[in-house]
Structure 1
Amino acid sequence: MPRVGASLAGIAASVDACGPTRLVVIDGRSGAGKTTLARELAAARPTFAVLSLDQLYPGWDGLRRGADAAISGVLAPLAQGRPGRWQGWDWESDGPADWHDIATGTPLILEGAGLLTPAAAALAPVRIWVEAEDTLRRERALRRDGATYEPHWDRWAAQERDHLRANDPRSLATHIVRV
């Protein structure tokens, strides 16, 4: 679990200063601590809702599609003063789930691997890259998701590497948190 301490205080200050577009993007590779950081930030700023891309990735090969859906369906509309909308994914049945609406003006922390792209950076004033050593990330992710995730680790990691090469998310971040 990340202990971000002073980083959290700096991030929270940035959130307070981001004006009417209260959107935060958190990216990082699997097991880096994105979800924990999102929870800690939401606890520090309770008016913010949290949306995890784990709820909308369309399966184990859907990193890019899930991130793109979050950007076009949630980030872009909210940044433009319109309501957001996203479709969930039912991991057990491996198919689409219910649609969800996000009201205009909702302060939002959106977290997930593959999310910090140039398009997302243009929409979210606070952008966080979370990183940790590969061994630690794998240990955390497998402890969290166990046997469900283990057979998919390599193919998910390949999608993350594609994202890193294509978008260089670390360079787009306003904050970098090393766990």
Structure 2
Amino acid sequence: MSSALSSASADPFSAALDVAAAHIREAIVGVAAANPVVLIDGRSGSGKTTLARRLVARWPLRGRVQLVALDSLYPGWDGLADGVEAARELILRPHARGMMGVWERWDWDASAHAEAHAVDPSLPLIVEGSGLLTASTSQLADVRVWLESPPSSRMRRALHRDGDAYRPHWPRWAEQEERHLLRDAPTSRATLVFAIP
């Protein structure tokens, strides 16, 4: 065994994401569709982006898979619900109807929409982001994932990832996540739930 594999397996966070990815791959194969939709939800710092990238790298079906991160759709620090709504209307609904979806990236520095991106309905799709599992989005997905992770671990990872730019916004974003938990009960809408240390 290489030292790289040894160190990866010794990391509980990485190991938990590997287990999650393996179960999600099984679920994707079980859907038996050419263009399945996978939604990954969880609070900030829970590992959604890392898990989504692992799924893309180890996609179990032939051909390529599309990945959309809600960080590219949220219109600023108060935009959790608006970003989810944009994903539903511009990406998930068109994909479910066999139509091309088009969404615009949110430029956080300019506080404005930027370039447009297309989503091909014939290809599989992964969408990841906080707030994603709702009553309306869940109906448009084949595999729905919730990541549960302790607040201290999540905050450490999120601030390590985004630095001090995120620190003053952490409470404000957390309040929006709390509203999502109370309003949408995302754990109950998930087909797979994983505990991430």
Q: Please classify the TM superposition score into its range, dividing by the shorter chain length.
A: over 0.9
Residue 9 (structure 1) aligned with residue 22 (structure 2): yes
Shift of 1:20: 4.2
Report if aligned partners of 1:74, 1:86 keep a CA contact under 8 Å in 2.
Answer: yes
Spell out the pairing of 1:87-166 with structure 2 (5 A cutoff).
Answer: 87-166=104-183
Among 76, 86, 94, the alignment partner of 1:69 is 86
- Aligned pair count reads 179
Q: C-alpha root-mean-square deviation of aligned residues, in Å?
A: 1.2
Q: Deviations over 1:60-82 (max 9, x none)?
A: 00000001100111011101111
Gaps of 5+ in 2: 1-12
Report if aligned partners of 1:26, 1:112 keep a CA contact under 8 Å in 2.
Answer: yes
Among 156, 160, 171, the alignment partner of 2:188 is 171
4+ runs of 1 displaced by more than 6 Å? none
TM-score (norm 1): 0.95
TM-score (norm 2): 0.87
* Comparing 6-15 and 125-134, the one that deviates more: 6-15
Shift of 1:21: 4.4
Residue 22 (structure 1) aligned with residue 39 (structure 2): no
Matched-pair identity in %: 44
Gaps of 5+ in 1: none
> Aligned in 2, Cα 1:5/1:100: closer, same or farther, shift over 3 Å?
closer
